[in-house]
Amino acid sequence: MKCEEVKPYLMSHLDGEIEPEKRSEIEKHLEECEDCTKEYQAFVKLKQETDKMKLADLSDELWNGYWKGVYRRIERGVGWIFLSIGAIILLSFGAYQFFKELLADPNISLIVKIGVSIGALGAIILLVSIVRERLFLCKTERYGEVER
Amino acid sequence: MKNVYLTPGQSVLNKPETYVYIDKEEKTDEDRELILQLKRGKMKAFRKLVEKYKKPAFFIALGLVGNREDAYDISQEAFTRVYTSLGRFNPQHKFFSWFYAILSNLCKNHLRSREIRGRYIRSVDDDAEMSSQTNPAPGPDVLMERNERSLRLWEEISELPLEFKEIIILKHFQGYSYKEISQMLNIPLGSVMSRLYYARKKLKDNLKDILT
Ligand SMILES: [Zn+2]
């Protein structure tokens, strides 16, 4: 076996995930090859070092509150969707009524009608854009609200 | 009667002390059953799923983003994604592999936006302190024992390219088997081995001074 072929198997040997036949093949290579043996020993040391390192656990309080946090997020997400749908329905109905009256009123000049219409169009675009962001994008950015 | 399996890839001849007997079928069946119940709207089943996987979820996120508050938050968000995109889960697959894809994506997005924010702040204000605030050095509170060697090791792991960091975390801190890692990362077993090799090689080269 060439050294390059041996390298990945140094990993499975180290981690005890190697087939018995492969194991003896690799061990035979290690007996003959100084470079691979050196490298293998360095990997063993690295593994010992990483095994010693432990990540700190969270407090019981945080673990106990974990489910509640997940639940609240779901609840809020659902709340937001309903709120947005409701708001959109009411706003569009209101806007429809308003424009029907505005455009039908002969006392208001054409220029005002155009101005208000364009302004309203802008508001609708902004609203849709914000709602879309809340529903699809914003979730990834909501990392600010961890309680400790 | 129970079927008893060795963990995948563990051969009978090596390391008898690490034999782990687990009932694989039962384990995956349990998740599948919980998901089915959840699809029928049973929040209790969802709670069970969350309680079962909250720890690996948190620690994987911690390994990837290196900050406890963010890891707590992101892992919770990943569970809510499970709930909202349940329809996209293929019951043929393992729950945790699917969950891992969601979780690691959130972590990657988070790292990306942190990097962009950092770059922006650096361009506005050339203050080194500011940039280290947006891309905080791995907090020492992440580690249980804060000796110099562990801190150094943790720092080097944090600075690995994401692909390498990911596999080191799954192998060393979560202790997943190669087979489980290959399912989670959706790559063949051979790639697990070679990626692990390059990740560890980089780590060992960077840590030459403390490993001798
Ligand atoms: Zn060799």
For residue A11, the CA-to-ligand 1 centroid distance in Å is 14
What's the pLDDT at B105?
A: 96
The domain segmentation of chain B, as residue ranges, is 2-211
Nearest one of A53, A52, A48 to B138, comparing CA atoms: A53
Judge whether residue A6 has pLDDT over 70: yes
The ipTM of this complex is 0.76
pTM: 0.75
For residue A31, the CA-to-ligand 1 centroid distance in Å is 9
Taking all residues of chain B, what is their mean pLDDT, rounded to a whole number? 81
**Cα–Cα distance, B108 to B28 (Å, whole number):** 27
Tell me the one-letter amino acid at B89: F
**Chain A to chain B, count of Cβ pairs less than 8 Å apart?**
133
CA torsion through residues A56, A60, A66, A67, sign: positive
Judge whether residue A123 has pLDDT over 90: no
What's the pLDDT at B139?
A: 63
Q: Does B102 touch chain A (CB under 8 A)?
A: no
Judge whether residue A146 has pLDDT over 60: no
**Cα–Cα distance, A33 to A29 (Å, whole number):** 6
Collapsing DSSP states into helix, strand and coil, what is residue B116? helix
Judge whether residue B182 has pLDDT over 70: yes
pLDDT digits (tens, 9 = 90+) for B24-58: 445 668 898 899 898 888 899 999 999 999 999 99
Tell me which residue in B13, B143, B197 faces A11 most closely, judged by beta carbons.
Answer: B197
Name the minimum distance, in Å, from the CA of A135 to any CA of chain B.
11
Tell me which residue in A19, A69, A74 faces B83 most closely, judged by beta carbons.
Answer: A74
Does A125 or B7 have the greater pLDDT score?
A125
Q: Which overall architecture, per CATH, does domain B2-211 show?
A: Orthogonal Bundle (1.10)
